[in-house]
Structure 1
């Protein structure tokens, strides 16, 4: 094979990598979603519960929206539903009274345990024909991609502006 041809194949492999990764992630989530529908949960309802379960403390609504790639108004409507079901509670953030903190309830943790169990079953089903060694190798590759994303974000993000003291005992 000619060097130029090798370069084109490598370029095509790299070009398709992100597309395949996104497609697989969406398909994986769809598999979990299908299995959870029997419990009355949808992708929209189980994902916030799943994320909140991993948080040791209450989470700001804006941070949760960002984690879920949702617009704030969409998350507010979703949290209304989850709060009515008793899975989450929202409280005013004492540090910033304009913000709401979201935390998972005990009932929400039970649902999160169900979601985790179903996610584990989907994982076992989808990876049954893959060796532990292959999964470890794939994990290392994904770790490197994630590190590259983080490094790019850090380089692209402007440094936060320093807060200034107004002398009134409050920072602006």
Structure 2
């Protein structure tokens, strides 16, 4: 495959996955905006996290995260408690309702991936994961945003 068509293929794959994921999320009855979903996933996967850490993790500004957190808290999806080590900060936690929503989101993601990988063998999927991981590593430097030196989210 020529190098100039890799971008087109990746772009089409990304959009196909997003369409399928939106469809799966809708089928699960989830009505949250994408930002809220990303924040809920971040809180669910991080222990004793703060708004600043969530903003860093998902690569967006803290003000946008704070607005979404207010809405998620009003919907009883998350709770906040004062950080005992830093009283200026709040620790975010997922509630029982939030855990249920997160489980639905994870189910929707698994369904979307299942639809897209339906006719692929285990060996082909392993090869795809390895290739995609290599491509991701090839693009990562010490920081994702060299202007602000924002660390890369989801980096191992």
Q: TM-score, normalised by structure 2?
A: 0.75
Measured in 2, the distance between the counterparts of 1:79 and 1:59 equals 12
Measured in 1, the distance between the counterparts of 2:102 and 2:10 equals 25
Contact 2:24 2:111 in 1 (8 A): no
Gaps of 5+ in 2: 150-156
> Are 1:65 and 2:55 matched, yes or no?
yes
Contact 1:93 1:101 in 2 (8 A): yes
Aligned to 1:122: 112
Moved more, 123-132 or 25-34: 25-34
Measured in 2, the distance between the counterparts of 1:86 and 1:144 equals 39
Measured in 2, the distance between the counterparts of 1:101 and 1:21 equals 37
Matches within 5 A, 1:22-171: 24-37=13-26, 38-55=29-46, 57-150=47-140, 152-153=141-142
Contact 1:36 1:42 in 2 (8 A): no
Aligned to 2:4: 12
RMSD after superposition: 2.6
Q: What whole-Å deviation, never above 9, does each CA across 1:70-110 have from its counterpart, x for those lacking one?
A: 21111111111110111111223233333332111121111
In terms of Rg, which structure is larger?
1
Measured in 2, the distance between the counterparts of 1:134 and 1:40 equals 34
Measured in 1, the distance between the counterparts of 2:85 and 2:10 equals 39
Q: What whole-Å deviation, never above 9, does each CA across 1:111-138 have from its counterpart, x for those lacking one?
A: 1111111111111111112221111011
Which of the pair is proportionally richer in helix? 1
SS state of the match for residue 89, structure 2? strand
SS state of the match for residue 87, structure 2? strand
Higher RCO, Cα 8 Å, sep 6+: 2
Measured in 2, the distance between the counterparts of 1:44 and 1:31 equals 17
Contact 1:91 1:100 in 2 (8 A): yes
Offset of residue 145 of structure 1: 3.0
